[in-house]
Amino acid sequence: MKRPIKAACFAVVAAGILMSAASAQQKAPFSLKNKSVKVYVTEKGTDNRMTKTGTLNFEAKPQPVETEVAVFVDPSKTFQTMLGIGGALTDASAETFYKLPKDKQKEILTAYYDKTKGIGYTFGRTNIQSCDFSSDTYSYVKDGDKALKTFDISHDKKYRIPFIKEVIAAAGGKLTMFVSPWSPPGWMKTNNDVLHGGTLKKGFDQSWANFYIKFINAYEKQGIPIWGLTVQNEPMATQTWESCLYTAEEERDFVKNFLGPTLQKSGMAGKKLIVWDHNRDLMYQRVSTILEDPAAAKYVWGVGYHWYETWTGAGMNFENERLVHQTFPSKNLVFTEGCAERYDATKLDDWSLGEKYGYSMINDFNAGTVAWTDWNVLLDEKGGPNHVGNFCFAPVHADTKTGAVTFTNSYYYIGHFSKFIKPGARRIASSASRDKLLTTAYMNPDGKIAVVVMNKNDEKIDYLLWIKGKAAKVTSAPHSIATLIVE
């Protein structure tokens, strides 16, 4: 018996040594030895679109002076982990997709989801029942069916489900998907209308909570895994399209008393439940009301938000999301929707489309956001289809009559993040010495650093990419975005 005991002791000691070595290796300070910088640029007035424009070397630079512009990166200071970046797979996107020739369909799938040839989307959202970006208003149950015995997703099997399956295959067999309702069936609401706001009728809370479970089960039976869900898309907006209103207290109580417990009882406690799913302006008030109640907060994984607070004429309110993150650090921030509104075909080449994305994404990630979701991945030549005329821009538009596909510069701006910052990457400290440059940075799981630098001004800016006493000289062109890969 002694020899096996000695052998076991030796194994334990050896394992301890290996673990210590691994731990020491993980804690080893970042080194720039034998590393250079590959520069990828998208630039107004040129053909550069995520184009590799050069490889730069680091030189000793102990202390920059105040007259030198610099982007300082500190790999030793880490923050949130990237979950993923992607877009919404709506009825409109699916219908547009299947009106195109097969070669154009493949081009779009590759452009979005191929990790090498495309921009490597890994995250997605889809709608529960119809939304504005559907060709019609529809429900999965017949009127008055409170028990949901008639629940049927046949409508989605024509376009949306096949489309999502093709997307998952193009993404390598895995896509992190969450789902959102725009409205319960009209007969469940106080206005008896699926459109125009209204609220959930008393006595229908449990039936509506069961509806989410039915939807998730139905999609998963179709081979579409659902990672998470939001409670309600834009719960403070009375829209001409599908919409339903909740006050903060009503959303809190629905989560606490119905949706949260129903997810648990249905074996779906692991699904990530996201509250709010609306603009940044009311974000803190909504989230604090819900999360200050422990009985509701225990069911909540994260907070979703949109960027449309600008409809009031104000700018994007990043301070509100930063405050939510600081106050409730155990909950995760997710950008759940954003797009350029009021489609105009003459503005498909407008450079401000992409700059809006870059501006938001950099600030959102720096505020603590773990995942970022664009709205429709694909729309047609009219900015639809949309059953209420709420036509919008998408990063990619297709002319369903000619088959022509247009990639706006929004696609490339998003790609500067989604292609180079992988799921599992940790955000690291990155700051610019001038406010004319915007920056965020991540350490990827493979050890490569991705630094995004955006210049939305009219002048060229020379700067130093400075990391722990060494720097590489970089030039930021006017109205450009660059991803710098340190490897």
Q: How far apart are CA 37 and CA 52, in angstroms?
A: 11
Q: Cα 387 from chain centroid?
A: 25
Cα 487 to Cα 483: distance, rounded to the nearest angstrom: 13
Question: Is residue 181 helix, strand or coil?
Answer: strand
Query: In whole angstroms, how far apart are CA 156 and each of 152, 165, 391, 435?
Result: 9, 12, 21, 47
337 in catalytic set? yes
Q: Which residues contact 426 (CB under 8 A, 6 or more apart)?
A: 78, 79, 80, 81, 82, 442, 443
| Those residues with Cβ within 8 angstroms of residue 35's Cβ, 6 or more apart along the chain or in another chain | 58, 486, 487
Instruction: Quote the CA–CA distance of 121 and 456 in Å, as a whole number.
Output: 25
Size of the chain in residues: 487
| Catalytic member of 95, 251, 337, 355 | 337
Distance CA(128)–CA(181), nearest Å, equals: 5
User: Cα(97)–Cα(377) distance, rounded to whole angstroms?
Assistant: 10
Dihedral sign (CA 153, 158, 162, 167): negative
Under 8 Å between Cβ of 334 and 370: yes
Tell me whether residue 234 is one of the annotated catalytic residues. yes
State how beta strands 228-230 and 51-57 pair: unpaired
Give 179's strand partners. Answer: 126, 229
Residues 6+ apart with CB under 8 A from 179: 125, 126, 127, 128, 212, 215, 216, 219, 226, 228, 229, 230
Q: Which of 95, 234, 242, 309 is catalytic?
A: 234
What is the rounded CA–CA span in Å between residue 12 and residue 5?
A: 10
Residue positions annotated with a catalytic role: 234, 337
